[in-house]
Amino acid sequence: MNFDFDVAGEVRFLQMSKLGDLRFEAYESSKIYKDQTNKWHDAIIVKKYIGLGDLILLFNSKVKVFPGKLRSRWSGPFKVMGISPYGAFELWSDEEEGTFKVNRQRVKRYYEGDDKGPIEVLYLREPFPKEETS
């Protein structure tokens, strides 16, 4: 058997060329997918607009140490007394003397509920009638 090294070299070069094309197509496909995912994610993000005087809740990360199903990890409400240009909030509370600073990532806005009086209960189905015993 006699091998032609020139023909084998050309075949190998074509295979490497196809492999490079496949790699490039995979890269482009991945880039398009990431761009679409980023657009979708950015569209559903809701910006937090917190101003001076707003009431906010503070995330208490120490609660993780003491597990409890019904224990809330949010404490407050606190009043915003100042905002730094890099996202730190200066908070004030009636319970604590003075102010303290926290990072923007640890807070969320506090919405006070409207008291609209008693709640009306509407049953979708009538309860079963009580059986009379004689």
Asked whether residue 57 carries a pLDDT value surpassing 70, the answer given is yes
Percent of the chain with pLDDT over 90: 16
Residue 117, token pair as written in the block: 């009086």
* Annotation: CATH topology of 55-109: SH3 type barrels. (2.30.30)
- The pLDDT score that the predictor gives to residue 23 is 92
pLDDT, tens digit, 9 for 90 and up, residues 110-121: 887 766 667 777
Computed over every residue of the chain, the mean pLDDT equals: 82
In the chain, the amino acid numbered 76 is: G
pLDDT, tens digit, 9 for 90 and up, residues 60-103: 877 565 566 667 788 878 899 998 888 889 998 877 677 888 88
In the chain, the amino acid numbered 65 is: V
In the chain, the amino acid numbered 27 is: Y
Closest CA to 74 of 92, 90, 89, 61: 61
